[in-house]
Structure 1
Amino acid sequence: MTEKMKLVEWFENLRRTDIPLVGGKNANLGEMISAGIPVPLGFAVTAYAYRKFIKETGIAEKIYQIIRETVREQNDPKQYEEASKRIRALIESTSMPKEIENAVREAYRELCRKLNAERVPVAVRSSATAEDLPDASFAGQQETYLNVVGEDEVIEKTVKCWSSLFTPRAIFYRTQKGFAHEKVFISVGIQKMVNARAAGVMFSINPVTGDPNQIVIEGNFGLGESVVSGAVTPDEFIVDKRTMKIVERRIAAKKIMYVRDPVTGKTVHVDVPVENQNQPCLKDDEVLKLAELAVKIEQHYGKPQDIEWAVDSDIGFPENIFIVQSRPETVWSLKTAELPEKKVEAGLAKPTEELKVVVKGIPAGKRGIGAGVARVVLNPQEAAKVMQKGDILVTDMTNPDYVPFMRLAGAIVTDKGGITCHAAIVSRELGIPCVVGTENATKLMVSGEEYTVDARSGVVYEGIVPAMTEHPSPLPNSAGAFTAAPSAVGGVFQSVPVTATKIYMNLGVPEKIEEYKHLPFEGIGLMRIEFILASYIGEHPLYLIEIGQGQKFVDKLAEGIATVARAIQPRPVVVRFSDFKTNEYRELKGGEKYEIVEANPMLGWRGCSRYISPWYEKAFRLECQAVRKCRDEWGLKNVWVMLPVVRTLWEAKKCLEIMKEEGLERTKDFKIWFMAET
């Protein structure tokens, strides 16, 4: 049997020249093994095996006839869906010829023998012969199945991979690109599953800015599917190639992960343990080892790469790091012309009060502006009913079934995902502005309403902002880097980039929030209530308790806090409990009766030591009741608190006990900050 007629081939025998036989994914796995890259063991079911299958069973002509009959209007997604449904049913109901079946079964048995295991869990991945070439990319057109165990299931998933050559998105893609369906074939890679502690994606070039000196690594706990699909906003690490040092990191709140169910063997998603959600999924030495491999792979291929990786929980460092896929980066590596330099026009001026930020996220697609009518959808079926050319697609996360509707979109906004998720990759390829990882766009954006999406800074504004949409191009500087995009400062509209560091603002006078609420801040990091005590209430809390008006204190304080919290929802307001010193409390009506005279009030009876004292505890409870009123009665869950002057742990614990008794206990949506002063 000649090389071109082989039914299966082991990865270690493959090279990049074997793309016609095994497709880009499988050929690249073999190529990386030859270059010394750590790749899990596996083999490919060749494209020849697929061709043999459709010809010997007589279904080839039936497949292509269905496409000719069904797809008559290139921009009608429903026609692609109908063709796909019929073709996939045809392929999956056709028995695999025994010669092919026996070859696949024997190869799987040999893999088990090599790994000294009876039933090795494997990943079964599609690898089309026109996929992953420089002018033919679109991530995830065909299917992948994880944690496949046993010969029978490997055979079943191989056929499903074959049928995935005709998903709606795959038929659409080939039609739009002008590829003849009869000339595109598919191979299937069968590869040992890594028992992943963490996994994800990395680029050997910054995929958003095009900076060739940066390696961008995104990851989550468990299997990498959560990162690729955009099911979570992942951790992000940026490594400088020149120094091989981590120059940026963003640790996300990772609430879910994909794992192998030990009972069923299937891939399931589970909650990340609370104690791990805000912890990095990678250690620094693992980040740097991945960066080292990214450089090695890029140098081997001579062009930037898009790489999938996994860290095995069963093996020690550095042998625990594996590369499971690599393909050419398809946006920046294909750019041949420099963007013309543009000057900022005077027309970018826009009154601050006219701008309203709806959501913020991560800029991930074309670094430009998109404006239009939002279509908030939960799935591709809903998108098929409502999406029109130029609409803003708003959804939780995208998958390959969204591609026909993403092509229609003027901009894309998602709740989840990072710069290597599906929505980010496809939007860059389509040249569409995209903002991902907003957390709540599907809740805050309204279908049918108009918005402006600034994909340079990761901000979505309410309404159409003419000054932006008239000058939508990104603004490159002379070095080719993009300048910061617009914010509201001094009444003039300028864009502000989304940074890994959240910028919070201080506030003392509640009414001032109306002047400041349009500024680009993430929340109020310190709301001092002393102004409310002095100006709204004016009376010492113990005096009010003595005369039976303690509720007045609660109501007035709650009103002041609520003024701010309502104005900036859902951004948080961190309310610092009162931090008056004894001399300042004496200035309140009735204060002289309750306050001692101290030589140095700055170091005296204040903060936590005041709250827990038998003389003042009941007044502290009034402050707690005011916060609870905002949160529980008025629904202002964006109100958090801060304890000032935390001097000892036992004082802090006592304060927390009092707060708990008053209904204030730390949860995921109620944070308690400490201010430790020395």
Structure 2
Amino acid sequence: MFTKKFREIRIQDIPSVGGKNASLGEMYNQLSSKGVRIPDGFATTADAFWFFLKDNCIQVPLQNLLKGLDRKNYSNLHEIGSIARELILGGNFSESFSKAILEEYSCLNNKEDNIEVAVRSSATAEDLPDASFAGQHDTFLNITGEKALLKSIKKCFASLYTNRAIKYREDKGFLHHEIALSVGVQKMVRSDKGCSGVGFTIEPESGFKNIIHLSGVWGLGENLVQGTINPDEFYVFKPTLLQGKNAIVQKKLGDKEKTMIYAASEEHSSTINIDTEASKRNQFILSDSEVTTLAKWALEIEQHYQKPMDIEWAKDGITNQLFITQARPETVHHAKKLTTHVEYKLQEKGEILTVGNAVGTKIAIGTARILNSPRDSHRLQEGDIIITDVTSPDWDPLLKKAGGIVTNRGGRTSHAAIVARELGVPAVVGSNSATQGIKNGETITVSCAEGKTGYVYRGALSFSEEKVDFDKIKLPNTEAKLILSDPEKAFQFSFYPNDGVGLLRMEFIITHWIKIHPMALVKFDQIKNVLIKDKIKSITKNYPSKEDYFVDQLSQGIATIAAAFYPKEVIVRMSDFKTNEYAHLLGGAQFEPREENPMLGFRGASRYYSDLYKDGFRLECEAIKRVRSTMGLTNIKVMIPFCRTVNEGKKVIDIMSDFGLKRGENNLEIYVMTEIPSNVILANEFAKIFDGFSIGSNDLTQLTLGIDRDSDLMSGIFDENDPATKKLIAMAIEKANYSGKKIGLCGQAPSDFPEYASFLVKAGIDSISFNPDALLKGIENMNKAESYTTAIAN
């Protein structure tokens, strides 16, 4: 049998139609009834390929040709690949094979004349769990007419011997003469008039399993695959998606500078890149409902295959319908033991040469090698860092020699990023200035260990590697939690042994994501500085109102961390900037009073009900409400900082209720920071209006000893181990326990001093929260403290 209709194909037909076509047939038959839309089509079989080689007497010549491949340096790879392809392109299809293809094409036409089809290669060793073969073989789009179809199928046959495919099979240990090529012919999705992209059913950098990551561009997806532009990105949380909530926890607007469309030609298969119009660059390619639909389909596909999947999708710009055009097993994280972690950490900082999207979490030092194309391969030495504008599948033979990759263009799902993950090398993609900012031959440090932003530094910077098997770490009975602020690191840190997040500082999100003072958004029309006003207008241009910008950005940052640790609790502290810190935000100076001692001034709870900031606090509350109610992340708890009096606490709780955050509603719990002696002295009274306590040991030490903790002159006296501070902490724990309210502590001391952890455990604290770099040491100290306490008791 030379051909099979998609409705005749199942996943077990990989030996006959290859991984790509087997998957398409499987989904067409098994998932169409669940709403997953797959374009109809047919596939040529492996038998047809073998028959073609035998009929044209080129099977043995191909085998003999490959025997001469230089398998040490691959010096003749280009020559052998070229000859192999010419052998196939010089062959002829038999009359019976051509007839079978054209009959299937006629059935697809369904009484229409010469419909457009996509012609895709599918090797019989393709899309396996440990080898994706992504981008190794050719695809031809928008093919119309019988002559063009037959020509494209032969070109797909020849692409089994592209240089990159030959090298990939060598690297993976496949025998060339055992691999056949099937060709899938699908009804064309006119994404050239719409948009297209890829998706992963796990977060592609960390392997976090509860996120579906979608990305896409206007027009054809080749721009995304090649990494020529930065795409839009969407992060969707599976558990709340299943609950019917708005599960999009994060959206990132890409620049989408170019749109790839079809060029007018005889065969309608050539493409051109045109400039994307400004309005579309500033618009997300998908609506929230379309993102949700694709995410649900991705989840159906993952559940059907029972493994993480890498999918391709497209939106037809004529019909406005979404389609899944491919699905293959994800090949990077599926076999990893995610609890075995190697932590890379820079020990020093240096001059930044360029920044971009980080791929992976590693750090590499090497010689920068600026390459313009794969033809420059002779200049690349083992371990060099490739610096280039953009990579494509043709670069694959080079990438295996590289110690790292830095590109001007590309997103997290570009081909360069996918290959870098598979090879386990760090990459910084989409930097915009790599080839300009980095000199050929200079030593550089590529760091992907600082979140989603990757950095390239001049020179060789010292860094550390620490391998930790999280499975071997026993959590203590006392809860061990994290202190976090950066959403970009949340998925990575979620793999650490933990009982949730004891302190989420929203100040980082406001400073680094939002950048604008909330009152400058509320009272935008009153801003006096024209330059500041113009800058705010530019930043918020894609939002219907300035306030929407603040709520959207803050809710996304909080939701990302809440999703990473769901269903464990995440305690979000409402903003605790001091006036001098708020003033540094864009537009902030106009709305902040000047104070001699901001540390003891207009901060924390006192701001929330003041006319000077009340509307800013309203925006914070709206963000929290969106995360809990709309997104469904009810593991979020809220904490009020620097609450001086019980009456002040009541005012804050009342105004939060007015702003839609009512204590107890939808199981909302409101905690209070214990960082002022009054919080300890009147702990029983505070316990009547709050659901729990968190000791802020730095501020409590400051106010107990009467020391400004920001003062260099007084730093020698500041000591969390001071007996007065520890006595207040013990009192706070005792009173919280008596009131039946949870109490924790956020601070460095329990990780630095084993005796401090012992003191807290003995006092009966419920939880201790640590910065990520101190967590493992903190857990060790807590376990020692609990063992000691148990031994004493016995």
TM-score for both structures, normalised by structure 2: 0.57
Q: Equivalences for 1:627-666 in 2 at 5 Å?
A: none
Q: Could you tell me how far apart the structure 2 residues matched to 1:504 and 1:370 are?
A: 31
> Quick one: which amino acid aligns to residue 12 of structure 2?
T
Q: Tell whether the 8 Å contact from 2:39 to 2:188 is kept in structure 1 after alignment.
A: yes
1:396 to 389, 398, 413: 389
> Quick one: which amino acid aligns to residue 74 of structure 1?
K
2:72 to 64, 71, 74: 74
Partner of 1:62: 61
Q: Could you tell me how far apart the structure 2 residues matched to 1:47 and 1:55 are?
A: 12
Partner of 1:380: 374
1:98 aligns with 2:95: yes
1:427 aligns with 2:420: yes
Q: Could you tell me how far apart the structure 2 residues matched to 1:74 and 1:107 are?
A: 44
User: Residues 136 and 499 of structure 1: is their aligned pair in 2 closer, same or farther, counting only changes over 3 Å?
Assistant: farther
Q: Could you tell me how far apart the structure 1 residues matched to 2:510 and 2:256 are?
A: 18
Q: Could you tell me how far apart the structure 1 residues matched to 2:427 and 2:509 are?
A: 13
3-state DSSP class of the match of 2:353? strand
> Quick one: which amino acid aligns to residue 88 of structure 1?
R
3-state DSSP class of the match of 1:242? helix
User: Residues 481 and 256 of structure 1: is their aligned pair in 2 closer, same or farther, counting only changes over 3 Å?
Assistant: closer
Q: Could you tell me how far apart the structure 2 residues matched to 1:144 and 1:290 are?
A: 23
2:181 to 174, 183, 186: 186
> Quick one: which amino acid aligns to residue 385 of structure 1?
H
1:167 to 150, 162, 184: 162
> Quick one: which amino acid aligns to residue 295 of structure 2?
A
Partner of 2:759: none
User: Residues 527 and 110 of structure 1: is their aligned pair in 2 closer, same or farther, counting only changes over 3 Å?
Assistant: closer
3-state DSSP class of the match of 1:446? coil
Partner of 1:291: 295
Partner of 2:240: 243
Partner of 1:519: none
Q: Could you tell me how far apart the structure 2 residues matched to 1:87 and 1:343 are?
A: 44
Q: Could you tell me how far apart the structure 2 residues matched to 1:79 and 1:234 are?
A: 37
Deviation at 1:461, TM superposition (A): 3.2
Partner of 2:340: 339
Q: CA deviation digits over 1:390-424, x for unaligned, max 9?
A: 00011122111101110000001111221211011
Deviation at 1:361, TM superposition (A): 1.0
Partner of 2:196: 199
1:110 aligns with 2:114: no
Deviation at 1:313, TM superposition (A): 1.8
Q: Tell whether the 8 Å contact from 1:369 to 1:472 is kept in structure 2 after alignment.
A: no
Q: Equivalences for 1:224-303 in 2 at 5 Å?
A: 224-244=221-241, 245-261=247-263, 265=268, 266-303=270-307
1:369 aligns with 2:371: no
Q: CA deviation digits over 1:134-155, x for unaligned, max 9?
A: 1222311111111111111111
3-state DSSP class of the match of 1:38? coil
Partner of 1:463: 458
Q: Could you tell me how far apart the structure 1 residues matched to 2:286 and 2:373 are?
A: 32
Partner of 1:15: 10
User: Residues 500 and 111 of structure 1: is their aligned pair in 2 closer, same or farther, counting only changes over 3 Å?
Assistant: farther
3-state DSSP class of the match of 1:194? coil
User: Residues 194 and 136 of structure 1: is their aligned pair in 2 closer, same or farther, counting only changes over 3 Å?
Assistant: same
Q: Structure 1 regions of 5+ residues with no counterpart?
A: 1-5, 485-496, 507-524, 529-573, 581-678
Q: Structure 2 regions of 5+ residues with no counterpart?
A: 242-246, 474-481, 483-489, 495-507, 518-530, 535-583, 591-794
Q: CA deviation digits over 1:61-99, x for unaligned, max 9?
A: 101111112x123332x3221110110011101112221
1:177 aligns with 2:172: yes
Q: Could you tell me how far apart the structure 2 residues matched to 1:288 and 1:362 are?
A: 25
Q: CA deviation digits over 1:372-402, x for unaligned, max 9?
A: 11111221112x1311100001112211110
> Quick one: which amino acid aligns to residue 331 of structure 1?
V
> Quick one: which amino acid aligns to residue 228 of structure 1?
V
Partner of 2:152: 157
3-state DSSP class of the match of 1:333? coil
Q: Tell whether the 8 Å contact from 2:115 to 2:145 is kept in structure 1 after alignment.
A: yes
Q: CA deviation digits over 1:100-132, x for unaligned, max 9?
A: 1121122212211x2x42111111110000011
> Quick one: which amino acid aligns to residue 292 of structure 1?
K
Partner of 1:664: none
Q: Tell whether the 8 Å contact from 2:3 to 2:100 is kept in structure 1 after alignment.
A: yes
Partner of 1:557: none
Q: Could you tell me how far apart the structure 1 residues matched to 2:23 and 2:372 are?
A: 35
Q: CA deviation digits over 1:6-46, x for unaligned, max 9?
A: 10111111100111110011010111012222101111011
Q: Could you tell me how far apart the structure 2 residues matched to 1:341 and 1:191 are?
A: 43
Q: Could you tell me how far apart the structure 1 residues matched to 2:427 and 2:93 are?
A: 42
Deviation at 1:338, TM superposition (A): 2.9
Q: Tell whether the 8 Å contact from 1:74 to 1:175 is kept in structure 2 after alignment.
A: no
Partner of 2:492: 482
Q: CA deviation digits over 1:489-517, x for unaligned, max 9?
A: xxxxxxxx9999657699xxxxxxxxxxx
Partner of 2:705: none
Q: Could you tell me how far apart the structure 1 residues matched to 2:340 and 2:197 are?
A: 31
2:318 to 307, 314, 317: 314
Q: Tell whether the 8 Å contact from 1:342 to 1:476 is kept in structure 2 after alignment.
A: no
Q: Could you tell me how far apart the structure 2 residues matched to 1:212 and 1:18 are?
A: 28
Q: How many residues align?
A: 483
2:127 to 122, 132, 145: 132
User: Residues 501 and 160 of structure 1: is their aligned pair in 2 closer, same or farther, counting only changes over 3 Å?
Assistant: farther
Q: Tell whether the 8 Å contact from 2:16 to 2:47 is kept in structure 1 after alignment.
A: yes
User: Residues 123 and 476 of structure 1: is their aligned pair in 2 closer, same or farther, counting only changes over 3 Å?
Assistant: farther
> Quick one: which amino acid aligns to residue 50 of structure 1?
F
Deviation at 1:471, TM superposition (A): 3.0
Give the superposed CA RMSD: 3.0
Q: Could you tell me how far apart the structure 1 residues matched to 2:168 and 2:52 are?
A: 23
> Quick one: which amino acid aligns to residue 152 of structure 1?
K
Q: Could you tell me how far apart the structure 1 residues matched to 2:339 and 2:209 are?
A: 15
User: Residues 189 and 342 of structure 1: is their aligned pair in 2 closer, same or farther, counting only changes over 3 Å?
Assistant: closer
Partner of 1:26: 21
User: Residues 103 and 209 of structure 1: is their aligned pair in 2 closer, same or farther, counting only changes over 3 Å?
Assistant: same
Deviation at 1:340, TM superposition (A): 4.3
